[in-house]
Amino acid sequence: MLRELYPVETLERTAELIGFSRATVRQKAARLGIEKAMRPEWLDKADVIRNNFDSHSYSELAAMVGSSKTTVVRIASALGLKRTRKTNSGIRSRVRKAMVSREKRRVIFGLDPITRIKVVTNRTKIRLRAELKSAGYIVARAANILYFRSEEDRNMRKEQKASRHGLRFAPWPCGEESLANAI
């Protein structure tokens, strides 16, 4: 019974059918020289991994074959697959660009980030906000509104440029004493 089941069934299933523990079944199979046969699922996974090894990360390969990253690493090792530094670098670069792109889309649509990668969606707009803030404008947190204290302090040229990028301007709604507390 062991000679029939062990090569094709899982260790757990073989132990259950024979009525012995897994350790006993494994030891007896080793004493008799019985080895596990190649399972068709393993061969299918190995084929996918071999064909995509130089262009996909271990995580992507794991998703393709429906296994864990550890399983992919073991299969790649059993197949003798190795990557060069240049290949590893290219894969890491591609994966990082995809992550940054995904994070930018999440920021644009107002969703919470998945990773801790800091992304900038509109460099010009952010630079203008910083310039106007240093020029004395009060920047509302997480909003596109900048407040000015008085009409004389305004820089209309920069405001027009900033308006084209979606920034809005309004007079500071509070008096001078609360302004000191806000800064």
* Inter-residue contact 75 to 45 (CB < 8 Å): yes
Question: Which pLDDT score, from 0 to 100, does residue 147 have?
Answer: 87
Quick one: what percent of the chain has pLDDT higher than 90? Answer: 42
What's the chain's average pLDDT? Answer: 86
Question: Which pLDDT score, from 0 to 100, does residue 180 have?
Answer: 46
- In this structure, the answer to whether residues 93 and 75 fall within a common structural domain is no
179 has pLDDT over 50? no
Which residues on adjacent β-strands are paired with residue 145?
A: 168
Q: Is the dihedral of CA 150, 151, 154, 160 positive or negative?
A: positive
Order of strands, sheet of 168-171, starting from the edge strand that comes earlier in the sequence: 138-139, 145-148, 168-171
* Inter-residue contact 52 to 64 (CB < 8 Å): yes
User: What are the tokens at 57?
Assistant: 């990360």
First to last CA, the chain: 81
Q: Is the dihedral of CA 119, 125, 127, 131 positive or negative?
A: negative
Question: Which pLDDT score, from 0 to 100, does residue 80 have?
Answer: 93
Amino acid at the residue 30? A
Which is more confident, 37 or 170? 170
| The overall pTM is greater than 0.75 | no
15-29, 91-105, 153-167, range with the lowest pLDDT: 153-167
* pLDDT tens column, 86-95: 999 999 999 9
Q: How many domains does the chain have?
A: 4
- In this structure, the answer to whether residues 130 and 175 fall within a common structural domain is yes
- In this structure, the answer to whether residues 95 and 128 fall within a common structural domain is no
- In this structure, the answer to whether residues 146 and 176 fall within a common structural domain is yes
With tokens 């301007």, the residue in question is: 169
- In this structure, the answer to whether residues 128 and 178 fall within a common structural domain is yes
Question: Which pLDDT score, from 0 to 100, does residue 175 have?
Answer: 55
- In this structure, the answer to whether residues 76 and 95 fall within a common structural domain is no
- In this structure, the answer to whether residues 110 and 68 fall within a common structural domain is no
Which is more confident, 21 or 111? 21
- In this structure, the answer to whether residues 17 and 61 fall within a common structural domain is no
- In this structure, the answer to whether residues 50 and 95 fall within a common structural domain is no
70 has pLDDT over 80? yes
Amino acid at the residue 37? A
The domain of 58 spans: 40-82
Q: Which of 103, 120, 137 is the last residue of a domain?
A: 120
d(CA 2, CA 109): 59
* pLDDT tens column, 14-45: 999 999 999 999 999 999 999 887 777 888 89
Q: How confident is the model at residue 142 (pLDDT cuts 50, 70, 90)?
A: low
182's CB contacts (< 8 A; 6+ apart) are: 138, 174
Which residues on adjacent β-strands are paired with residue 148?
A: 171
- In this structure, the answer to whether residues 28 and 62 fall within a common structural domain is no
User: What are the tokens at 26?
Assistant: 């494994």
